[in-house]
Structure 1
Amino acid sequence: MHKLLTFQNEGLLRHALTHRSYVNENPGEMHNERLEFLGDALLTFLSGEYLYRQHPEMGEDEMTRRRSALVDERQLAKFATEAGIDFRMRLGKGAIQDGGFQNPNLLSSTFEAIVAAYYLDCDRDIEKIRPLIEQFFDSVPEGIVVARSSVDSKNRLQEVVQATINSSPPKYLTEKAGGMAHKPEFISKVLVGDKVYGEGKGSSKKDAEKRAAEDALAKLKKRGLI
């Protein structure tokens, strides 16, 4: 069993593996969304610190793009599969029937929750989880990180906006717009100042915001601004 699934407190592991769709069918259980929130924050910090240490010559913009590539939905889903989290997820029957064990959104979200739970299981000592998490970062080929970072739509939009329109970065207004518990839909609007520049839908907040950024970039290109 992967070390990321070895806990002193088995209840924490069970909590981290439990998706909302499972809770809907098994009242009394707790879903992992709060842990997902904490795990996202931990991974953002750890990946940023990792890049800061590994690349002392790298500028802020490039580190931001690479950080996004290291912790995007696709990459975290891959980490989850490598750790053996996929078929350990506690999903509702509908989510399983819809291919939930291979769903990148569910895999990445559960990986975030597991990281948070592992951190709590280690008495909130980030130094105890850092070496393990960095093993995942080390496993991503440099070429893949560079390729993904170069096409990150949110970072690209921010660069364009701050260079040509407004010194402040774009803001995203994202909310759940429906869907099933195991298959949600989010809608996002990206604003520059008070004006909406693009909209997008996705199965996660990150995906919806990415689509909104892509929509804004396409409109700016059509207007000849990029």
Structure 2
Amino acid sequence: MPSTEELLKRLGVNIDPETLRLALTHRSYAYEHGGIPTNERLEFLGDSVLGYAVTDHLYKNYPDLPEGDLAKRRSAVVSTRALAGIARSLGVGEFILLGQGEILTNGKDKSSILADTMESLIGATFLNHGIEVARQMVMRLILPLLHDVDVLGAGTDWKTAIQEIAAAKKLGNIEYRVTGSGPDHQRTYQAVLHIGGTAYGAGTGPSKKEAEQESAAVSWKMVRPHDESTEAK
């Protein structure tokens, strides 16, 4: 495992070693090591800081958007999918302390674990430096997503979004065809979305659900209404 100094460099903040270790301690690791503290309380804290920072930014920078649109944008960028994507881009998974069961099932790449750990790191930053430094870190990570039409267009539920578009365009029935590969302890799934018998987007993931979500996201970009493909900044 690389030094946590590299992780802090990627995050752009300093977190004291004890708090950082706590932020990276998944409950599966804690259980196997005598019930030591987990990162769940930091996750709870970081979730609130994240929500505040994004809400404050949206309110101040999008004065003409109604409440519903503000909520949709916030939901999109604080979702498990969005946070897991950020964590993967930073390589957070390689630093998470996991139990053997999670290690064997590729827990370091599970979206739920990655997203929860990102919230824990935000919480740890808040504890060490206060709200302003934590807010600045959140904005560095989140701002690119707020300008991503593909992220904002469908919110957080890609499968629902593609279903709605397919129904509106009368494209036909939706079917996810999923296959798996690799050993049982590190299995990868591939999903291809078929609409009306026609193959659309493909996705991969460590679980069938994540592979289907990825294929739905790719497919949404292919069939979305034309007026959702551009957005005034």
- Using the size of structure 1 for normalisation, the TM-score is 0.62
Deviation at 1:139, TM superposition (A): 1.6
Deviation at 1:49, TM superposition (A): 0.8
Q: Residue type matched to 1:37 in 2? A: F
Q: Describe the shift of the 1:31–1:78 C-alpha distance in structure 2 as closer, same or farther (beyond 3 A).
A: same
What is the match of residue 84 of structure 1?
Answer: 91
> Is contact 1:7–1:13 with CA below 8 Å preserved after alignment?
no
- Using the size of structure 2 for normalisation, the TM-score is 0.60
What is the match of residue 153 of structure 2?
Answer: 147
What is the match of residue 9 of structure 1?
Answer: 16
Q: Which runs of 5+ in 2 are unaligned?
A: 1-5, 161-233
List 4+ stretches of structure 1 deviating above 2 A: 1-8, 148-154
Q: Describe the shift of the 1:43–1:153 C-alpha distance in structure 2 as closer, same or farther (beyond 3 A).
A: farther
Which residue of 78, 81, 86 maps to 1:71? 78
> Is contact 1:68–1:152 with CA below 8 Å preserved after alignment?
no
Deviation at 1:56, TM superposition (A): 1.3
**1:1-226 correspondence runs (5 A):** 1=6, 2-4=9-11, 6-27=13-34, 29-122=36-129, 125-140=130-145, 141-149=147-155
> Is contact 2:80–2:111 with CA below 8 Å preserved after alignment?
yes
Q: Which runs of 5+ in 1 are unaligned?
A: 155-226
How many aligned positions are there?
153
Q: CA RMSD in A?
A: 2.3
Q: Residue type matched to 2:107 in 1? A: G
Q: Describe the shift of the 1:8–1:43 C-alpha distance in structure 2 as closer, same or farther (beyond 3 A).
A: closer
> SS where residue 91 of structure 2 aligns?
coil
CA distance in 1, matches of 2:137, 2:79: 18
Deviation at 1:24, TM superposition (A): 1.1
Measured against aligned partners, the alpha-carbon deviations of 1:31-62 in whole angstroms (never above 9, x if no partner) come to: 11111111111111111111112211111110
